[in-house]
Every structure is written in C-alpha cells, then in structure tokens.
Amino acid sequence: MWQTRKAWLKDWAAPVPEGLHTPLQTAEFEARQVGAPVSFTVDKAAGESYTIGQAGDGWQITGGEAGVLYGVYALAHGLKTGKIPQGRQAPFYALRMINAWDNMDGTVERGYAGRSMWFEGGAFSYDPARIRQLGRLLASVGINTLCVNNVNVHQPAQHLVDTLLPDLAAFAELLRPFGVRLMISIDFSLPLQYGLPTADPMDAAVAAWWADRARAVWQAIPDLAGFLVKADSEHRPGPNAYGRTHAEGANMLARAIAPYGGVLVWRAFVYNCMQDWRDTKTDRPCAAYDLYRPLDGQFDGNVILQVKHGPFDFQVREPLSPLLLGMKNTAMDIEFQLAQEYTGHQIDLYAMPPMWREVFDQMGKERVRAIAAVSNLGRDENWVGHPFAMLNLFAYGRFAWNPDEDAEDVIRQWVKMTYDMCPDDENSLMKLLLNSRTVYEKYTAPLGLCWMVRPGDHYGPSPYGYEFDAWGTYNRASRDAVGIDRTEKGTGYAAQYPAELKALYEDPAQCPDEMLLFFHRLPYDHIMRDGRTLIQRIYDDHFEGCEETERMRDALAALSLPEPDRTEVMERMEMQIANAREWRDIVNTFFHRFSGVDDAQGRKIFE
Ligand code: GCU
C-alpha cells in the first residue's frame, strides 16, 4: 500500500480508507488525526467556507459540505503552526485549478516527478489508494479542481468525451469525497475525427455535435467542472482555420456546456511559433494582447480566458502579462507553472511564493476570477522529485484560497508543518528558500534576459539555442549590445500597459533592473544605476549566483533534515551546483566573445 511520507501531510501517513463518499465523511475520518474531539455542523449554503470554534475540550467546525473538510485541515495545520484561523474563512477564488499535463501513454509533459499517477499505456491506470491520497493532498490546501489531461490532447485522450467516459467517471468518484472536481482538456477539431466535414464553430452541425457530447459527458459526470482548450496555439487546431475569432470558437463550446453549469477555460497562450528570426517587427510578447484585446466583452458568461502570468512562457523573470491589466470585460484566470520547466526541473531549488506575491501586488487580485497552475506532481514516491518542490504546491493552494497571503509567512508554515526543526535550522532553511529564486535568476538569466535555455528540454544554458529558431524568442546579442527594444521606438510592446507602467518600462533609467533587457536593447558599456557597466553586471551575477549555490550546499548540509529527504536534497544540490557552473561559464564566455570586455575582477572566463 502506498503511503504519504511527504510534507505537511506526514501526520496523515495512514491511508485514506475506501468507502468515504462525501467531504463530510472524509472530514470525520480526518478529524481523528487532530488529537481532540471535533464535531461538525453542515450548512449547505456555506459552500466552501467554514468557521472553527472551541467546544469544551475539543473543536466545532461549521461550514458547507466542502467547507467542513477544509476546516478540519485548517485546524490540524493551525495546531501545528500555532495559527488557527479565526472567524469565517472563505476562498477568494471559486475555481482553484491544478492543470495536469499528463498524457495517456503515461508520460507527463514537462513532468519532473516521474510518470503519470493515473494514466499508463493509453488507459486510466492507478492505485486507488494513491488517488485518495492525492485527493487529500489537494483538499488539504483548498484546491478544488483537477484537469486530468494535457492541454496538448494526444491519443487516445480525445476519447475522454465518449468511450473513456466510464473510466473518467470512476476517477471522478475517487476524488469527489475530497471536494475535488475534474476538468478535461479537449481538442477543438474533434468533430473532424467523428466524420464531420468541418470543425467550424459557426457550423450548426458542429455546434449540435458538441451539444450532444456535452450531454453525454455531464450525464456520466454531473459535477464535471468544464473543458480546458488550447486552440490555435503551437500547432493545435482552433477557430482561426475557419476564419473565426477566438470569441466565436470559445462561445460555441461554452454554449454546449452551459446547461450543465460547465465552464469553458480558453487559453490565451497564442503566438506565431513559425516566426522568421530575421523579422524584427514581430514580437512574441505582443501577440496575445493584439489578438484578445479587441475581443474584450465578446465572450460568454461561462468562458474564462486563461492567461499565463507573463507574456512569454513562465520564464524566470517576466513582466506581468498586459492582458491581465487590459481585459476589463472578460473573465480571466491567471496561470502559474508549478512544474519547474524553466526554473530548474525540480532539481534546482526555486521557491515561487515571492514571485506570486509580486504578481498579485501588481495586478490586483480582483482582476482575475479564477486561478490555475500547471502541476508539478508525478508518480515519484515523494510526489514532486525535489522534496522542497512540495512547498510550491502547498503555497499555490494557499494563494489560491487567499491571494493576500504573505510569501514568507506561507513558506514558514510549510517548513513548520513539514519538518520538526530547531529555530536556527528553521531560519536557515527559510533563508535558503526565500533566496532561491534570486540565486537561480542570477546564474541563469539576470536582467530579464529570457530564453538562453537548451531547446527542447529547457534545462541548462544555450545562449544560441533559440536564437535562429522559429519560436520568437531571441536575445539578439551582438558585439555591441544585447536585448530587445520593446519601447515605442522598438516593437511597441510597452504600449500595451497602462500609462504609468508604460512610462516606467519605456525609460531605461527607471525600468527595474530585473526587467532591463526585456524592455531595452543596451550597449555593454551602459552604466547601471549602481554604477557598474551592463557587461560587468552580467558577469557579476553569474559569478555570484554560482558561488551562492555552493553556500547553499553548506547551509543545507548543516540542517537536521530527516532521511530520505536529506539524501535527495543533497543529491539535487550537487546537480544544481554543476548546472550553475555550466550557466556561469557558458553565458560569461558567450558575452566575452562578443564584447571583448574582460571581467573587472579578473575572474576566469573561458575562451
Ligand atoms: C510551453 C511548454 C509546452 C506547453 C506550452 C503550453 O511552451 O514548453 O510544453 O505545451 O508551454 O503552455 O501550452
């Protein structure tokens, strides 16, 4: 029997038994772990909200059907961290999704924690005990929706809307007692595969076909949350093939699923992935705004436009997507990526909460109606590959419930719940986690320089890797300068922001350092605010970032981490150091060869 050994759930190592059917039954079972009597009052109208009160020598939890379950986890967490939530607690976002990029052949796109937990060999294939543990994992931080298959819908996931429905329903059944509803990714061109001559969203037969499918799907899984669609994006089919807009495409599907309360999550990750690198006018970050802004207000009420937090693709550092500030009449959700595709493959340490804090501070939590994150989970015994990567799932759940969370506070809660450490060790680990993003950024891509990663797997440095490719991802380094001018004089991207932000980004003297080369093309002798030249700053960051990984190793080695976490963490730390050296040497050499400028401190730069 598979057991949870990880993270804040270690107190619930005991398997979840079969035979729980409702969140209340699950809550009653989980309450046994609390160590004091807990009684429940369910008020259906309270939905996902709950209130925890003291009752004699035990506790009283009042809430909606899922609310009581969230309440019992919050109580257990609170007893551990000393912070029991006071007063009525309710989630800020009603839809709090994990998007799994699991394929039915068992692989996980951008997965760094093993194979899929529920697909193998073209079919559903899982240990039900582990899926119940997954339900507990998600519910314990308030995640209520799981999209089960990759946004790139590969064979035979097309059949999730027909022959695979009984299997999907059985899977949904396992997660229902945890208040977790399913969603599925669908392929826009599906009608073609069923003999229709077209998938044109304005064709009545196509709309009728989808309406019929929706009826069958919701008959099998009445509480399915909805469909997720990647259309006209990276070679996926979409409405553009028929000369239709994305509003027309999304609305047709939305109408098919509206009678059942389904939501249509439509991804805004659309750009020209067949760009000619010689073309300096086309600028990939501009693409989504240019496409969707004119459609603002045209989407049906049950459509949610899913927008990645930055205009590129989950790079180490990107400005906020201007769509998130500009689409005033469209329901949107913000998409984060827990899977560490560009942030170290769950080998390198990278704690995400500080980034999310910045995003919400800049955007305002009200700008989006829902929240999604690409899963970092897999079949690995510890779920996530790197034991500390669990922090990102935990913190995501917390931010999804309450986007006002303080990054440091959330990280500390996770540390306290996960490890029994003395205060010194706890503080040392806190420091490591809080700095991890900055360290990673320094040795990989400082100053907003994106896409120097190895093409394909996206781990390790390759400054030329994407330079002459079709993906629209260039640094355009020359012997004199580096970066892209995205001001009005350049590609005009900065003009997609509201006036104040535009003014900030347009001016290299005001533009935040970490975004400087995202917005500007600057000569190597450009003087930075701190007096250093740009080239010296590039060298310094790479040297410092790499040195810091060695200090991180020493700090980690001194921590009293339990096994097997300790071994796993130290092994990955060595890999991270090796990675940081590669980044330092390759990127520094790259720029030294171009610029011919030596390091002012005379450190080793290879020829
Ligand atoms: C990135 C990633 C792909 C993924 C895509 C998406 O481009 O590399 O694997 O399919 O994002 O978000 O759709």
Q: Answer yes or no: do 151 and 250 share one domain.
A: yes
**How many Cα atoms occupy the beta-carbon half-sphere of 402 within 13 Å?**
13
CA of 405 to the centre of ligand 1 (A): 28
Q: Answer yes or no: do 367 and 450 share one domain.
A: no
Cα–Cα dist 275/247, whole Å: 24
Cα–Cα dist 393/405, whole Å: 14
Q: Which of 89, 109, 136 is the C-terminal boundary of a domain?
A: 89
The answer to whether position 493 is within a domain reads no
Q: Which residue's CA is the closest to the ligand 1 atom numbered 1?
A: 313
Atom nearest to 230 CA in ligand 1: 13
> 58-63 and 332-337 as β-strands: parallel, antiparallel, unpaired?
unpaired
Contact in structure between 389 and 352 (CB atoms under 8 Å): no
Cα–Cα dist 217/210, whole Å: 10
* pLDDT tops 90 at residue 2: no
* pLDDT tops 60 at residue 4: no
CA of 410 to the centre of ligand 1 (A): 28
Cα–Cα dist 202/139, whole Å: 39
Cα–Cα dist 442/439, whole Å: 5
Atom nearest to 110 CA in ligand 1: 9
Atom nearest to 151 CA in ligand 1: 13
Beta strands in 426-531 (DSSP E): 481-482, 522-523
Quickly state the pLDDT bin for 401 (edges 50, 70, 90). very high
Q: Answer yes or no: do 182 and 243 share one domain.
A: yes
Backbone CA torsion sign across 75, 80, 86, 89: negative
The answer to whether position 602 is within a domain reads no
Dihedral, 390, 396, 398, 401 alpha carbons, nearest 10: -150
Atom nearest to 109 CA in ligand 1: 9
- Among 233, 269, 453, which is best to mutate for testing ligand 1, by the most ligand atoms less than 8 A from CB? 269
Number of other residues whose CB lies within 10 A of the CB of residue 469:
15
The CATH number of the domain holding residue 545 is: 3.90.1330.10
- Among 234, 343, 451, which is best to mutate for testing ligand 1, by the most ligand atoms less than 8 A from CB? 234
Q: Answer yes or no: do 80 and 158 share one domain.
A: no
Q: Answer yes or no: do 130 and 236 share one domain.
A: yes
The answer to whether position 438 is within a domain reads no
Q: Answer yes or no: do 56 and 113 share one domain.
A: no
Q: Note the pLDDT tens digit of each residue in 7-33.
A: 445 555 678 899 999 999 999 999 988
Cα–Cα dist 292/297, whole Å: 10
Q: Which residue's CA is the closest to the ligand 1 atom numbered 11?
A: 313
Atom nearest to 308 CA in ligand 1: 12
CA of 42 to the centre of ligand 1 (A): 41
Give the mean model confidence (pLDDT) for residues 507-515: 97
Instruction: Return the pLDDT at 16.
Output: 87
Q: Which of 379, 402, 418 is the C-terminal boundary of a domain?
A: 418
Instruction: Return the pLDDT at 11.
Output: 54
Q: Which of 58, 89, 120 is the C-terminal boundary of a domain?
A: 89
pTM: 0.97
The answer to whether position 425 is within a domain reads no
Region at 188 (left for phi over 0; alpha for psi -120 to 50; beta for the rest):
alpha
CA of 565 to the centre of ligand 1 (A): 30
Instruction: Return the pLDDT at 417.
Output: 87
Cα–Cα dist 410/606, whole Å: 41
Cα–Cα dist 66/138, whole Å: 12
The answer to whether position 243 is within a domain reads yes
Q: Which residue's CA is the closest to the ligand 1 atom numbered 12?
A: 269
* pLDDT tops 50 at residue 3: no
Give the mean model confidence (pLDDT) for residues 499-523: 98
Instruction: Return the pLDDT at 12.
Output: 55
- Among 97, 107, 313, which is best to mutate for testing ligand 1, by the most ligand atoms less than 8 A from CB? 313
CA of 152 to the centre of ligand 1 (A): 8
Cα–Cα dist 603/540, whole Å: 10
What does residue 60 show for φ and ψ, rounded to 5 degrees?
-125, 125
Number of structural domains found in the chain: 3
Atom nearest to 341 CA in ligand 1: 8
Closest CA to 541 of 511, 584, 509, 605: 584
CA of 195 to the centre of ligand 1 (A): 29
CA of 109 to the centre of ligand 1 (A): 8
* pLDDT tops 80 at residue 6: no
What does residue 284 show for φ and ψ, rounded to 5 degrees?
-50, -45
Quickly state the pLDDT bin for 287 (edges 50, 70, 90). very high
The answer to whether position 575 is within a domain reads yes
Q: b or e along 358-376 (b: 16 or more beta carbons within 10 Å of the residue's beta carbon)?
A: ebbeebebebbbbbbbbbb
Instruction: Return the pLDDT at 81.
Output: 87
- Domain region containing 471: 443-484+521-595
Cα–Cα dist 103/108, whole Å: 6
Q: Length of the chain, please? A: 607
Direct distance between the N- and C-terminal alpha carbons of the chain, in angstroms, rounded to an integer:
55
> 303-308 and 332-337 as β-strands: parallel, antiparallel, unpaired?
parallel
Mean pLDDT for the chain? 96
Q: Answer yes or no: do 323 and 181 share one domain.
A: yes
Beta strands in 460-560 (DSSP E): 481-482, 522-523
Quickly state the pLDDT bin for 514 (edges 50, 70, 90). very high
* Residue 196 amino acid letter: L
Closest CA to 189 of 229, 137, 132, 246: 229
The CATH number of the domain holding residue 309 is: 3.20.20.80
The answer to whether position 428 is within a domain reads no
Please identify which residue in the block is written with the tokens 């975004």.
515
Give the mean model confidence (pLDDT) for residues 251-272: 98
Cα–Cα dist 408/357, whole Å: 10
Q: Both tokens of residue 518?
A: 């995202």
Catalytic residues: 234, 313, 341
**How many Cα atoms occupy the beta-carbon half-sphere of 40 within 13 Å?**
26
Q: Note the pLDDT tens digit of each residue in 125-184.
A: 999 999 999 999 999 999 999 999 999 999 999 999 999 999 999 999 999 999 999 999
Q: Answer yes or no: do 58 and 103 share one domain.
A: no
Quickly state the pLDDT bin for 537 (edges 50, 70, 90). very high
Q: Note the pLDDT tens digit of each residue in 337-379.
A: 999 999 999 999 999 999 999 999 999 999 999 999 999 999 9
Ligand 1 is surrounded, with C-beta below 6 A, by 109-110, 151-152, 230, 269, 313, 341
What residues form DSSP beta bridges with 522? 482
Closest CA to 183 of 103, 97, 91, 109: 97
Atom nearest to 374 CA in ligand 1: 12
The answer to whether position 516 is within a domain reads no
Q: Which residue's CA is the closest to the ligand 1 atom numbered 10?
A: 152
Number of other residues whose CB lies within 10 A of the CB of residue 187:
24
Give the mean model confidence (pLDDT) for residues 582-587: 98
Radius of gyration of the chain (CA): 24
* pLDDT tops 50 at residue 224: yes
Share of the chain above pLDDT 90, in %: 93
CA of 233 to the centre of ligand 1 (A): 9
* pLDDT tops 90 at residue 96: yes
Quote the DSSP letter at residue 552.
Answer: H
Cα–Cα dist 323/459, whole Å: 28
Q: Both tokens of residue 36?
A: 């004091």
CA of 153 to the centre of ligand 1 (A): 12
* pLDDT tops 80 at residue 1: no
Closest CA to 139 of 220, 228, 34, 27: 27
The beta-carbon contacts of 583-589 under 8 Å, at least 24 apart in sequence, are 583/443, 583/444, 583/460, 583/461, 583/542, 583/545, 583/546, 584/443, 584/542, 584/543, 584/545, 584/546, 586/461, 586/462, 586/463, 587/452, 587/461, 587/463, 587/538, 587/542, 588/538, 588/539, 588/542, 588/543
Closest CA to 232 of 218, 216, 244: 244
Please identify which residue in the block is written with the tokens 């000393």.
82
Q: Answer yes or no: do 159 and 128 share one domain.
A: yes
Q: Answer yes or no: do 479 and 340 share one domain.
A: no
Q: Answer yes or no: do 238 and 281 share one domain.
A: yes
Q: Answer yes or no: do 186 and 75 share one domain.
A: no
